[in-house]
């Protein structure tokens, strides 16, 4: 699962302008985005229940996959490092949806 998430995020990181120092940094940034951005422009929306699950995951309210457990305390410092442009939104939103679908059931 971890390798799938990492490859998914690496494959889109250049298109979205997300340049983290590590693979887990990319995941950390993505999880933070999921909790804070229910609607990205006019391109699509993250369902409310998945937004709530992502928020709960960030705050440690629900059990987290072991690969994400160690980032819970650190993620606040990296929330929404910079806004997405409209072009980035179009690319990024489907990635967020797939990420949630694969992690939060």
Q: Is the pTM of this model over 0.85?
A: no
What residue has token string 């995020």? 9
At residue 85, the pLDDT reads: 52
At residue 73, the pLDDT reads: 39
Among 43, 42, 20, which Cα is nearest to 31's? Answer: 20
Terminal CA-to-CA distance of the chain, rounded, Å? 14
In this prediction, residue 95 has a pLDDT band, given cuts at 50, 70 and 90, of low
Determine whether 56 is exposed, middle or buried from the number of CB atoms within 10 Å of its CB (0-12, 13-18, 19+): middle
Compute the Cα dihedral for 38, 12, 78, 63 and give only its sign. positive
């Amino acid at each position: 699962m971890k390798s799938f998430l990492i490859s998914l995020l690496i494959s889109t990181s250049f298109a979205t302008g997300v340049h983290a120092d590590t693979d887990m940094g990319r995941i950390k940034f993505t999880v933070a985005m999921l909790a804070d951005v229910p609607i990205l422009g006019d391109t699509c929306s993250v369902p409310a229940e998945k937004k709530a699950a992502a928020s709960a995951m960030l705050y440690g309210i629900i059990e987290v996959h072991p690969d994400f457990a160690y980032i819970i305390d650190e993620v606040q410092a990296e929330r929404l490092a910079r806004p997405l442009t409209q072009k980035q939104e179009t690319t990024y939103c489907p990635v967020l949806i797939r990420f949630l679908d694969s992690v939060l059931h």
